Structure 1
Amino acid sequence: MSLLARLAPHLPYVRRYARALTGDQSTGDNYVRVALEALAAGERQLPADMTPRVALYHVFHAIWSATGAQLEDGGAAEGDDAAHRLMRISPRSRQAFLLTALEGFTPSEAAQILGVDPRTVERLIAEAQSDIDAELATDVLIIEDEAIISADIESLVRELGHRVTGTATTHDEAVDAVSRHRPGLVLADIQLADGSSGIDAVKDILKRFDVPVIFITAFPERLLTGERPEPTFLITKPFQPETVKAAISQALFFHPSRQKQAA
């Protein structure tokens, strides 16, 4: 299989990443082009101990480092508030955050790409999340019928600097809560106290306005059916606190309506 054939499925994604990383489409595309030219000319080799996708991103970063690229030079695209926020995060933290949150790499894969150890990647991600959470502090509605779990989630939300403006244990309580105060984020269980559905509650909320939603549930199979659009953020109980924190950061950062509100 030719080099181009091996890399072709991954090129749209590395272009997406390069654009987000540099804050400018033409700048990002240029670095991808230089990386591909270096590979074609034999100036760079895909590391044999990496998958083709990981290896391509690794070469991209090697090119960036070798050319002394300054990510801030291109400037964020006009009107792209997410890009402006990204450019205010330190470059190394920005890379680790985007590799895991946007591109879906594991911390171990991101470490291979960046040439560091996984613990360094985890530290960089935490730094990026801290910057994001401080800038995007919002009001949160928690839909959860188990008091202990609700209290745990509320504590995590407050640790990130957000405000819990409502808690609900049933569908009706959730709908009533948003009628009194519009949240900037919803954290929802599926099975609620009176047998009502958190899925139905979220559907009714989304009919009124667009808001990022994270489902936290012991029944993920009820959402992962393949029969309807599935949630972007789905956390299975019992959950790890860091998983919830990461999902909150990502949901707020990448949600389109949130970007428009902040513009």
Structure 2
Amino acid sequence: MSLSQLVAPHLPYLRRLARALTGSQASGDAHAIAALEALVADPELLRRDLSPRVALYRVLLEVWKRVPTNTAETIPADAAAGGAERNAQRTLSALELLPRAAFLLEVVEGLNREEIAQALDIDTAEADSLIQQASIEISGQISSDVLIIEDEPIIAMDIEALVEGLGHRVTAVARTHTEALAAVAAHRPQLVLADIQLADGSSGLDAVNDILAQAPIPVIFITAYPERLLTGERPEPAFLITKPFSVEAVRAVISQALFFGQRAEPNAALAEAV
């Protein structure tokens, strides 16, 4: 099987991981492209003794650990994001990011501990330690006000229970574009969790774009079909939760979104990604 045939099915997930690691579409895609360029230059980097997906993640993570994230010299920044995401990343150390990478690989990408160790080029004991460290960081997240945009009542109730169980406050549950804008006008949230298709036939993407025109709020999209949003065409979200979701996945992605939202300048890193 050719290199392109091995890699192609995993590209949407490579980009999802890259964006979650860096906190934006522009930076994540730049790192994913750098990983692919490295593979083209040296196909042996894709370890054939590992699963293609893990081997691809390993290449991405090597690029991510090696290249200073989001500096003007290495990562092109787009106009919408400005310097916000670069400033956010400068406040981070590798020690802070590695536990988050391990945690994302487990709860978002679904890798087991051995695969996480392989992707990060560490042993399983260190992978366990990183994930435990990430859990401690995540549990210390500042409680935030959250708007849920979801038209399915049962799913909305599940998300609300999960969010509140993580120590956050749900300001409103909106079923339509109009309700979402009214909810933001009544109480500006610090985070938005949005479905793609709403009850009135409108798009969650459109609702979020209108919200972001008012305020730079971190956004997480919830969808059963993440590959439909990771097509390479803009606009695209930096953070996704895939249905059906788990408490661990919600906790990890909320932590990431709030982390970058809080560390960035007012025109936060996620604004350009949706």
TM-score by length of 2: 0.56
Deviation for aligned residue 1:217 = 1.5
Cα separation, partners in 2 of 1:55 and 1:221, compared to 1, 3 Å: closer
Measured in 1, the distance between the counterparts of 2:204 and 2:62 equals 41
Amino acid at match of 1:244: V
Deviation for aligned residue 1:232 = 0.8
Q: What does residue 198 of structure 1 align with?
A: 204
Measured in 1, the distance between the counterparts of 2:146 and 2:60 equals 36
Where do 1:7-86 residues align within 5 Å?
A: 53=59
Judge conservation of contact 1:190–1:219 (CA < 8 Å) in 2: no
Per-residue CA deviations over 1:9-57 (Å, capped at 9, x if unaligned) read xxxxxxxxxxx9xxxxxxxxxxxxxxxxxxxxxxxxxx99786749969
Choose which of 197, 211, 217 in structure 1 pairs with 2:223.
217
Measured in 2, the distance between the counterparts of 1:222 and 1:176 equals 28
Aligned-residue sequence identity (percent) comes to 51
Q: What does residue 136 of structure 2 align with?
A: 127
Amino acid at match of 2:172: G
Where do 1:223-234 residues align within 5 Å?
A: 223-234=229-240
Deviation for aligned residue 1:81 = 6.9
Measured in 2, the distance between the counterparts of 1:176 and 1:147 equals 19
Per-residue CA deviations over 1:200-256 (Å, capped at 9, x if unaligned) read 11111011111111111224354233221311112221112211111000111123x
Q: What does residue 190 of structure 2 align with?
A: 184
Amino acid at match of 1:259: A
Measured in 2, the distance between the counterparts of 1:218 and 1:101 equals 18
Cα separation, partners in 2 of 1:115 and 1:192, compared to 1, 3 Å: same
Where do 1:93-172 residues align within 5 Å?
A: 95-99=98-102, 101=104, 108-112=114-118, 113-117=121-125, 118-131=127-140, 133=141, 136-172=142-178
Deviation for aligned residue 1:82 = 6.8
Higher relative contact order (CA 8 A, sep 6+): 2
Report SS of the residue matched to 2:264.
helix
Report SS of the residue matched to 1:126.
helix
Report SS of the residue matched to 1:193.
coil
Amino acid at match of 2:138: Q
Deviation for aligned residue 1:115 = 2.5
Per-residue CA deviations over 1:106-126 (Å, capped at 9, x if unaligned) read 554543434234554433332
Judge conservation of contact 2:88–2:260 (CA < 8 Å) in 1: no
Report SS of the residue matched to 1:149.
helix
Report SS of the residue matched to 1:150.
helix
Report SS of the residue matched to 1:242.
helix
- In structure 2, runs of 5+ residues without a counterpart are 1-21, 23-46, 67-86, 267-274
TM-score by length of 1: 0.58
- In structure 1, runs of 5+ residues without a counterpart are 1-19, 21-46, 61-79
Measured in 1, the distance between the counterparts of 2:122 and 2:219 equals 31
